[in-house]
């Protein structure tokens, strides 16, 4: 399908520094500069959808407290939780970037959205991020009632690196006999490496927002060495066993370097007997769900996730 006209208009506008290789220097800046540029380009609408409450909490983590932001819907008692993990290549971004999508899913699915502010690389490389996210999952199982959450009904999800971390903590829960995860929502997820040979990396290397060069830079920040890239807890496509994982909704964007690896992972999940739904968003680019919320596809994707979660928790 052709590029969505709204996406084409978005790409024609001046991109945020570091967000598109056509606007980035040949050598990308350090993480602090990338974070500052990303934060400066972030636009949060003034008319955010209201929810019953929004509150930040500190959850004990493996190396200090982990901040979470909890969005609660109108409800008479504890509600299921959707642990939301933001994107940003494990290096940039924060829970602030997904205010629109978090509120939309909270209300439409009648779930608590628990957004995780995990540690970022390169200051805290792999495996700091999955350890933080898994600590939140464990905390909800034991203490969810203290924030209005039913800790026995928890799904996980995220966009880009957040999709990666969502399936990683699902693997950790399976492998460690940890908390039950009802489902995983994996949006434009990172499951392979730029050198794995997927066609979408060549087809959409530049000019569509997220670039192959930026993705390679993210890996340089996150992995401490070549051995990390063989670890399924960093790259889930390296796993030889995907059985026993939670049901999954995988959402990809047609014009995204990560498209093919996300769809390959969905196929492998299905082959392993995991109930899996795969949606490709035609004409869309990376970040259509939680970052580029002005796109017409964005609210449609929020409704899709909410519908999926309602079914999971019915």
Mean pLDDT of 110-127: 98
Q: Which of 59, 144, 148, 139 is nearest to 110 (CA)?
A: 148
Element (H, E) at 99: helix 99-109
91, pLDDT greater than 60: yes
Taking only the tens place, the pLDDT of each residue in 143-158 is: 999 999 999 999 999 9
Upstream peptide bond of 122 is cis (omega within 30 degrees of 0)? yes
pLDDT of residue 13: 87
Give the model's confidence band at 135: pLDDT under 50 very low, under 70 low, under 90 confident, else very high: very high
Reference 36, options 11, 13, 15, 16; nearest CA is 16
The sign of the CA dihedral 89, 92, 95, 100 is negative
Could you tell me which residue, 13 or 83, shows the higher pLDDT?
83
> 140 pLDDT exceeds 60?
yes
Q: How crowded is residue 163: how many other Cβ atoms within 10 Å of its Cβ?
A: 31
Task: List residues with catalytic annotation.
Answer: 160, 256, 286
Residue 73 has pLDDT above 60, yes or no: yes
Instruction: Tell me the domains of the chain and their CATH numbers.
Output: 5-312 (3.40.50.1820)
Residue 85 pLDDT level (bands cut at 50, 70, 90): very high
Share of the chain above pLDDT 70, in %: 96
Q: Shortest CA distance to 286 belongs to which of 211, 177, 176?
A: 211
Q: How confident is the model at residue 14 (pLDDT cuts 50, 70, 90)?
A: low
Average pLDDT, the chain: 94
- Predicted structure pTM score: 0.95
Tens of pLDDT along 224-282?
Answer: 999 999 999 999 999 999 999 999 999 999 999 999 999 999 999 999 999 999 999 99
What is the per-residue pLDDT across 18-53, written as a single tens digit (0 to 9) for each? 333 334 445 788 999 999 989 888 888 889 999 999
Distances (CA, A) of 42 to 98, 226, 248, 291: 10, 33, 29, 8
pLDDT value, residue 43: 85
């Amino acid at each position: 399908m052709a590029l969505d006209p709204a996406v084409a208009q978005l790409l024609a506008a001046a991109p945020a520094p570091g967000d598109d290789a056509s606007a980035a220097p040949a050598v990308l800046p350090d993480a602090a500069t990338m974070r500052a540029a990303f934060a400066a380009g972030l636009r949060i609408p003034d008319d955010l959808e209201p929810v019953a409450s929004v509150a930040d909490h500190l959850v004990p983590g493996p190396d200090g407290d982990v901040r979470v932001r909890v969005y609660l819907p109108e409800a008479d008692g504890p509600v299921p939780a959707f642990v939301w993990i933001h994107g940003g290549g494990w290096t940039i971004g924060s829970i602030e970037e997904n205010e629109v999508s978090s509120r939309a899913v909270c209300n439409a699915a009648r779930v608590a959205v628990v957004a995780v502010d995990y540690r970022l690389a390169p200051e805290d490389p792999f495996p700091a991020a999955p350890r933080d996210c898994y600590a939140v999952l464990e905390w909800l199982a034991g203490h969810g009632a203290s924030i209005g959450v039913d800790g026995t009904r928890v799904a996980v999800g995220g966009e880009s690196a957040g999709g990666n971390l969502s399936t990683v903590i699902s693997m950790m829960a399976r492998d460690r006999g940890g908390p039950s995860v009802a489902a995983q929502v994996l949006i434009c997820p990172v499951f392979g490496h730029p050198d794995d040979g997927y066609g979408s990396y060549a087809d959409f290397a530049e000019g569509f927002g997220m670039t192959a060069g930026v993705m390679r830079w993210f890996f340089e920040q996150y992995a401490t060495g070549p051995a990390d890239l063989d670890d399924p807890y960093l790259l889930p496509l390296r796993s030889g066993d995907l059985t026993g994982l939670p049901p999954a909704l995988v959402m990809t964007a047609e014009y995204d370097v990560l498209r093919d690896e996300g769809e390959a992972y969905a196929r492998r999940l299905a082959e392993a007997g995991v109930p899996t739904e795969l949606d490709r968003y035609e004409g869309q680019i990376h970040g259509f769900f939680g970052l580029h919320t002005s796109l017409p596809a964005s609210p449609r994707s929020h409704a899709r996730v909410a519908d999926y979660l309602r079914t999971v928790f019915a």
